[in-house]
Amino acid sequence: MKSLVVYYSLTGKTKLVAQVIAEALNATLLEIEERRPIPKPFVYLSGGFAAITNRGSKINPIDVDLKQCEKIFIGSPIWASRPAPAINSFIYQTNFEGRSIIPFFTMGGNNSENALANITAKIERSQGKVVGSFAITSYGVSDEEIIARAKEAIKNY
């Protein structure tokens, strides 16, 4: 069985971490893309509100057979202490039955507890089992440092 790395990234930081995971574990990489991205000037206001209210966004169709994946990493930036709406949509549309899920986050702050509790509840409602997680503070941090932190975080997986 292989691993899958699914992610949504607005600034490229979550994408960078997802790429490190996929390369290190020889995993399939899948980017979640919104059908109509929120215009940049409004993304944090409307995206943050959608995240707080646990809403999803309209995402492009996903073409992956999860039955072939034993372990699924789900990456999201943290917006208003929650996962991004595009990740909510992916989780709401997916049955994770029998799959081990490892959420990972990039964030401007240093507290991922609320986002982890929120995403764990959603994953469990979709029949998945969270078996680990990690978060990387990426604000004001170089790409090289983010890569180093990601490599360190995935040593246990």
pLDDT in tens, the chain (157 residues): 689 999 999 899 999 999 999 999 999 999 999 887 766 666 666 676 676 777 778 889 888 888 889 899 999 999 888 999 999 999 999 999 989 999 999 998 888 999 999 999 999 999 999 999 999 999 999 999 999 999 999 998 8
> How far apart are alpha carbons 91 and 21 in whole angstroms?
20
Instruction: State the pTM of this model.
Output: 0.91
Buried-exposed string 103-138: b where 16+ CB fall within 10 A, e elsewhere: bbbbbeeeebeebbebbbebbeebebebeebbbbbb
Q: In DSSP terms, which residues pair with 71 in a beta bridge? A: 3, 100
| Containing structural domain, residue 64 | 2-156
Give the CATH number, domain containing residue 68: 3.40.50.360
- Rg of the chain over all Cα atoms, to the nearest angstrom: 14
Count structural domains, the chain: 1
